[in-house]
Amino acid sequence: MSVFELESKSEAELTRLIQNANQELQARINEKRKDVIRQIRELADSIQVTVELIEISGKGSIASNSKVAAKYRNPANAAQTWTGRGVAPKWMQALLEAGRDKAEFAI
């Protein structure tokens, strides 16, 4: 389909075209996935090994999007908290540099 053919289509027609293309793409991806899984099982069988395939939900990411509860609170500003993960926020760094122990600010 050329650009000129797309320019003549209405927004509804373009939306329908995109939806149909996404459905076709998903069907092809699912078919390819099934084929790869079949190949893995055949190869495993050929060398007499058992393979356990673990399904990962989402878009291929194992990481969770769930929020982590805060562990520390800034005594000067209760709205500022820190989970204890990653780089400490500036307020925590300043308190630690002043000789304070982070356990003092545990929630």
pLDDT in tens, 58-98: 655 555 667 889 999 999 999 999 999 989 999 999 999 99
Query: Closest Cα to residue 37, out of 57, 60, 62, 54?
Result: 54
In this prediction, residue 52 carries a pLDDT of: 87
- pLDDT bin (cut points 50, 70, 90) of residue 104 is very high
Q: How far apart (Å, rounded) are the C-alpha atoms in residues 90 and 100?
A: 14
The distance from CA 90 to its chain's CA centroid, rounded to whole angstroms, is 27
pLDDT in tens, 6-42: 888 899 999 999 999 999 999 999 999 999 999 999 9
Residue 51 has pLDDT above 90, yes or no: no
Given this model, what pLDDT does residue 48 score? 92
Q: Max CA-CA distance within the chain?
A: 69
C-alpha–C-alpha distance, residues 78 and 55, integer Å: 41
